[in-house]
A and B are shown apart, each in its own frame.
Chain A
Amino acid sequence: MPAAPKRRFSPDTWAVVVALVFAALIHFHLLKSVPW
């Protein structure tokens, strides 16, 4: 198995970034609604 690439951000941080991006999309009405 090849060596894992050096990570600049942890998956934790990426999860926060992705969640904040979605929160921004919803807040600025770029994502109108999310059905369940």
Chain B
Amino acid sequence: MSNVNSVALAEEAVVLPEFGSQSTPSGTLRRLIELIPGLALLAAVGYAGKWIEHSIAVYGKTHHKVLPNIEYVLWAIVIGFLISNTAGLPRLFRPGVATYEFWLKAGIVLLGARFLLGDVARLGGISLVLVFIELALALSFMTWLGGRFKLPPKLVSLLAVGSSVCGVSAIIAAQGAIDADEEDSSYAIAAILALGAVSLVLFPIVGHALHMSDRAYGVWTGLAVDNTAEATAAGALYSDAAGKAAVLAKTCRNAMIGFVVLGYAVYWASKGQAAGVQNKAAFLWKKFPKFVLGFLLISALATIGVFAKPEITALGNLSRWAFLLTFAGVGLRTSFKDLSRQGVRPFLVGAIGEVVIAALTLALVFGADRLYHL
């Protein structure tokens, strides 16, 4: 965080109104007003990303052209990057922009509704076993690879989580849980999204070349492509049946997000323990990100059927709006200068990791298909 812009932003604590604090009503009102410009900027940048994604899709449809589906996530981050690295972020906007972490955590809690523990049971035996093997292989390999390339440990964790579980959502969830730098999460998200776009082209080619069955190809896509939208699209590009299998396998991976993030949160919380801490449980509780519990609570409520299907859709959409603000904030708070300092190694690690994970999961799916006829 040596960049001037980033440092200046880091100094702006998340100045949320503290309704339970000793601040005066006028102080609270003043801080609320100070949030407005930055919040408006977050909304404008995020919505611009959504508009660009929509406009490209409409253009492709009306002109009968197959254009790459680049998600609003990437556009929002890119627009944020451009603003923060050209015009810079005036001080007026900083308090509001700094709230992006709040929206991130609220979005994660709401996202819990879309990750049902029951999805794992529905997917059933073989696919579930494959998901567990994929998780173990991907987490281990990415951690090893990141260490070999001497990447920052938290960036390695983000890349490992992103490539093993479910891409951007997992990185965003893990970033808050392990308190990683936004530059690290931008890197990991950019790497996962860039590689996801490549997989849209490469996976169907490989699938056809190997004459894979719809179900085997779909399970492979669900296991190996990181971002849910790209996994679904890569499956659907092959066939409808492959798309359904991809969604099933991918949902199973998504259901693991809470457990993996919980594991990393506990790991990093325990690593941050000072030497003289007497009450380890209290320390861990203090350090532990409460939004993970909120996420699990909403997920459990959805699992036991508290929410009807339209309600789950509404909660999922609400989390996407919260993430819209988050992604804009991630872009606005990251500088090219810091990214260039990191070099190409994170992308290289991401790319090598993805290729190896794709090959390993392909072998797994072939083995399972031969043994159990997927």
Interface size class of B (residues with CB under 8 A): 35 or more
B93 is an interface residue with CB less than 8 A from chain A: no
Q: Hey, which chain B residues are within 8 Å of A20, CB to CB?
A: 109, 294, 297-298
Taking a contact as CB atoms under 8 Å apart, the answer to whether A15 and B109 are in contact is: yes
B37 is an interface residue with CB less than 8 A from chain A: no
Taking a contact as CB atoms under 8 Å apart, the answer to whether B106 and A4 are in contact is: no
Taking a contact as CB atoms under 8 Å apart, the answer to whether A34 and B21 are in contact is: no
Q: Digitize B10-21: 1 where CB-to-A-CB distance is under 8 Å, 0 elsewhere.
A: 000110101011
Taking a contact as CB atoms under 8 Å apart, the answer to whether B18 and A16 are in contact is: no
Shortest Cβ distance from A32 into B: residue: B314
Shortest Cβ distance from A14 into B: residue: B16
Interchain CA distance A7-B321 in the complex, whole Å: 27
Interchain CA distance A22-B294 in the complex, whole Å: 13
Taking a contact as CB atoms under 8 Å apart, the answer to whether A12 and B16 are in contact is: no
Interface hub of B103, B106, B107 (most chain A Cβ within 10 A): B106
| Known contacts A16-B291, A18-B106, A19-B110; A7 and B21 CB within 8 A of each other | yes
Q: Hey, which chain B residues are within 8 Å of A33, CB to CB?
A: 310, 314
Contact of A27 among B101, B104, B306, B317 (CB under 8 A): B306
Interface hub of A10, A16, A27 (most chain B Cβ within 10 A): A16
Taking a contact as CB atoms under 8 Å apart, the answer to whether A27 and B291 are in contact is: no
Taking a contact as CB atoms under 8 Å apart, the answer to whether B321 and A11 are in contact is: no
B150 is an interface residue with CB less than 8 A from chain A: no
Taking a contact as CB atoms under 8 Å apart, the answer to whether B314 and A34 are in contact is: yes
Residue ranges of B at the interface with A (Cβ–Cβ < 8 Å): 13-14, 16, 18, 20-23, 27, 101-110, 113, 289-291, 293-294, 297-298, 301, 306-307, 310-311, 313-315, 317-318, 320-321
